[in-house]
Amino acid sequence: MNARDWALITFTILVQMSVGSIWVLGVAHFFAARKYGNEEADRLSDRALLALVPVIVLAFIASLLHLGNPFNAYRAVTNLGSSWLSREIFFGVIFAVLAFVFAFLQWRKFGPFVLRNVIAWLAALDGLVLVFSMSHIYMLPAEPAWNTWATPVSFFATTFLLGALAMGVAFVANYAYLQRKQADCAEAQCTLMREAMRWIAVAAVLLVGMELVVLPMYLVTVAGGSAAGLASVKLMAGTYGWVLALRVLLAFIGAGVFAMFLYRNAMSEGHEKMLGSLTYAAFIVVLVAEVLGRVLFYASHVRIGI
Amino acid sequence: MANQKAFYFDASSCIGCKACQNACKDKYDLPLGVRWRRVFEYGGGNWLFIDGVESPNNVFKYFVSTACQHCANPVCRDVCPAAAITKRADGIVLIDPEKCIGCRYCQWACPYGAPQFNEETKVMTKCTFCADLQDQGLKPACVDACVMRCLDIGDYDELRNRYGSVADIEPLPTGNITHPSLVITPHKHAEPSGQGTGSILSLPEEV
């Protein structure tokens, strides 16, 4: 692990979290608006949306840190025809611009609702293409530990898992803020927050379940594929075995155990404080788990050849 | 491919002296850790115990001198996001340091370890096939330095007609990924890529 690897870990994790967040926000806003109208839905999601802006900015600053010559960074989109890295940067910049424009318009309530909706959809769809491109960067024939279907699957799992829990944190923080501002406002918001948290808990349990099913299949496939693949698995299970163990344990605790409690506490009113603490805990534990997973991803790849 | 310059390497006569590696380092004044040409020592086999005495059985080793293969399918060029890597009409693959952003993506893609990061210039570098010398009709520095005359260059098709089509012996990777412009006369103990029973014996710092 060196500074460059940490730059890539930061960039990929934050970008994926942002893409997942846009989707979670969109779904939450859609169902919230159906139940309580656009105004209440906006109050649920607007601050969460604004919080994404610094996250995306941070992600792109991190991405520059892994370059030897960042002054040439603008050239990174000049090989769209054959380089997935070019495509990633291309769709990444589009995602950032759309997300910023949408966040600004939504914050200021500029422009018609339909226009804002269209921009949000474009950002969300572009985000999927972005994560897809990102995963294909690593699918190189010379890198057997990366060149499997598990790369896109795990990237998308990280996307929605961190997106869901990050927005969970944003929702409970937003609710606490609203309550502090005016204690009686929170009737509809309380219901919306609790319902969002219930679905976020369900999503977390399903996604971490998927991760835990994919992991052994992935290890077996890579170990049996080639000598370099076997060397990678030996690194993952041997030298970095403790990282792998900790990653699995934390994912299970955060998105499994904590999410179960989250679901139960979100069932009825009166547990908002507990709900908040649980959400923060689940997010932090899962974030650490996903970062460890990504550390493993960069630390254990063994290229074939010399 | 028509008109493709290629390296020829005679593994049956290489003695592993590394004159090629040093000539390359010297000509280009490469910093510590950057080696456009590398000489690998590869070996394996077992020893037998006969009457309590260790006796050589099928112990073997041989050397492989390798650089950029200026491949027919240069994956480094394909993956480079900055379009900094190009393939000339004569098949030579070059990195333009003015365009390189130093992301090291080509390093992941190339199974020959040819693109290497220069910590001093902060961009990727690799074997240029001594394009400057070849443009004057001269041979690359590594070829001229080879005391055993086991390194040469030529037209890819001509080299294949003369020496055969072997390009993948251990520890080199299979040629399926990039289709290297490389012709090898294998050592008598050479093992095919991907089916080796031996291992690289060189110290990691040497290669």
Which CA distances in Å does A67 have to B8, B15, B106?
35, 39, 13
Instruction: State which H helix or E strand residue A112 sits in.
Output: none
Share of chain A above pLDDT 90, in %: 80
Could you please report the per-residue DSSP string of A113-167? HHHHHHHHHHHHHHHHHHHHHHHHHT--TT-TTTSSTHHHHHHHHHHHHHHHHHH
A77 at the B interface (CB within 8 A)? yes
pLDDT at A180: 84
How open is the CA angle A220-A224-A225, to the nearest 5 degrees? 115
Taking the mean position of all CA atoms in its chain, how far away is CA A88?
A: 16
Closest chain A residue by Cα to residue B102: A68
Q: Choose among B178, B4, B10, B187: nearest CA to A306.
A: B178
Cα pseudo-dihedral A175, A177, A183, A189, rounded to 10: -20
Distance CA A270, CA A17 (A): 30
pLDDT tens, residue by residue, A268-289: 888 888 889 999 999 999 999 9
Distance CA B11, CA B151 (A): 9
- Mean pLDDT rounded to a whole number for chain A: 93
Distance CA A230, CA B26 (A): 37
Q: Which residues are within 8 A (CB) of A39 and not within 5 positions of it... i.e. 6 or more apart?
A: none
Nearest residue, CB atoms, B40 vs list A141, A143, A306: A306
Count of A-B CB contacts under 8 Å: 104
Mean pLDDT of A243-262: 94
Is residue B205 within 8 Å of B96, Cβ to Cβ?
no
pLDDT tens, residue by residue, A185-236: 667 888 898 899 999 999 999 999 999 999 999 999 999 988 999 999 999 9
pLDDT at A287: 97
Tokens 């001198």 found at:
B65
pLDDT tens, residue by residue, A290-300: 999 999 999 99
- Per-residue pLDDT at A184 exceeds 80: no
Tokens 């979670």 found at:
A24
DSSP-assigned letter for residue A237: I
SS3 B197: coil
Q: Can the peptide bond before residue B171 be classed as cis, meaning omega within 30 degrees of 0?
A: yes
pLDDT at B2: 57
Q: Give me the residues of B, 41-60, that contact A with CB < 8 A.
A: none
Is residue A21 within 8 Å of A161, Cβ to Cβ?
no
pLDDT at B48: 83
Instruction: State which H helix or E strand residue B48 sits in.
Output: strand B47-50
Could you please report the per-residue DSSP string of B57-91? SS-EEEEEEE-----SS-HHHHH-TT--EEE-TTS
Burial of B157 (0-12, 13-18, 19+ CB in 10 A): middle
pLDDT at B40: 97
Residues in chain B with CB shorter than 8 Å from the CB of A4 are 104
A234 at the B interface (CB within 8 A)? no
Which CA distances in Å does B120 have to A69, A74, A165, B22?
11, 22, 43, 19
Interface touch A140/B108, C-beta < 8 Å: yes
pLDDT at A178: 87
A271: its two tokens: 């547990």
pLDDT tens, residue by residue, B65-86: 999 999 999 999 999 999 999 9
A69 at the B interface (CB within 8 A)? yes
Could you please report the per-residue DSSP string of A174-234? HHHHHHHH-GGGHHHHHHHHHHHHHHHHHHHHHHHHHHHHHHHHHHHHHHHH-HHHHHHHH
pLDDT at A271: 83
pLDDT at A183: 63
B201 at the A interface (CB within 8 A)? no
Closest chain A residue by Cα to residue B83: A79
Closest chain B residue by Cα to residue A70: B101
Nearest residue, CB atoms, B101 vs list A73, A137, A142: A73
pLDDT at A30: 93
pLDDT tens, residue by residue, A121-137: 999 999 999 999 999 99
Q: What is the ipTM of this complex?
A: 0.90
Residue B56 pairs in a beta bridge with B47
Which residues of chain B have a pLDDT value below 70?
1-2
